[in-house]
Chain A
Amino acid sequence: MLSHTSLYILDMALMGMGVYALIAKRHIIKKIIGVVTMEYAINLFLILVGYRAGGIAPIEDAQISAADLAARAVDPLPQALVLTSIVIGLGTLALMASLAIKLYEKYKTFDMSEINRLRG
């Protein structure tokens, strides 16, 4: 059963957990947790796509030359782009958390449906 697409499917199940939390939960922090879980799953998926079986990290040293890297290393391009994405994820998390804190200060609750009812 350890086939090679089962890793992709497990990763998408993790992403689905995030989608479920984002849609079904009413607590704002739970929604933020859903977004963070989706982010993890997508970053991990891009790295999984770039993985070469038995590959080494794309770093040269005394034993490993550039030609060796081209033959054996994993894909460095998704790694570089995911590095950007992880840091941007931290920025969006800080923005979401500050919005949640402000909403709590105004409405004294984290419940999304309660906030909808109190508006106006």
Chain B
Amino acid sequence: MIAIFHVLLFFMIIGSAVAIETKNMLSAVIAVGAVGFGVSLLFLFLGAPDIAITQVIVEILSLIILIRATTFADNRAVERKIDSFATITGLFFLGFFVMATVWAFSDLTPFGEPLMVVSQRYLAGSSAETGAVNVVAGVILDYRAYDTLGEAMVLFTSVLGAFVILRRRGKKPLDEADTEQFGIISD
């Protein structure tokens, strides 16, 4: 099982390298889609079918959004000359980041033995307390329902933001004078 995880993670790293380095933007976006479906498959093997389903749906939607953002323009990469300072800085931070995380992993529990202090209670009492046989559904919709409410609010705000940004212009023509008055009218 652990070998499958390693193979999938290598596939995802290669896919993201293709996505970052390829010249054609459409193939970069599709490589990101391949990485996302690899993540989804890995979620399925890790015992998380709910997240695997969600990841597939979100991946399809984000592919549609990214293809919309690339294909209406020229879909070639714009890098003509290599920005060496940015590349060196990026590689430096990549190395620094991996080193720091390897150092931080010494404080984690080993892979395959999670701590599960709170989760034991959820696992034992979910079907009796919430009536949900799927413990993940019990957590998101009952034990931590306020979290899900906040998620819905964040999602609504981002959709509203995208709508406001993408709107062509206001409903009223720019050269038309204001005829209606709102608020406190002085005369």
Residues on the B chain within 8 Å of A99, using CB: 165
Q: A7-B9, A23-B86 are in contact. Are A87 and B102 (CB under 8 A)?
A: no
Interface size on A, residues (CB 8 A): 87
A33-82 interface (Cβ within 8 A of B): 33-34, 36-37, 40, 43-44, 47-61, 66-67, 69-70, 73-77, 79-82
The dominant DSSP class at the A interface is: helix
CB pair B58 A47 closer than 8 Å: no
- Known: A16-B97, A84-B147. Contact between A47 and B51, CB under 8 A? yes
- The one of B10, B28, B61, B122 that contacts A30, using a Cβ cutoff of 8 Å: B28
Decide if B113 is an interface residue (CB 8 Å cutoff): yes
Interface contacts (Cβ under 8 Å), in number, total 285
Query: If the complex has contacts A60-B127, A97-B65, are A27 and B93 also in contact, measured as CB distance less than 8 A?
Result: no
Is A24 close to B, CB under 8 A?
yes
Residue of B nearest to A59 (CB): B134
The answer to whether A58 touches B136, judged by C-beta atoms less than 8 angstroms apart, is yes
**Per-position 1/0 for A1-28, Cβ under 8 A of B:** 0101111111111111111111111110
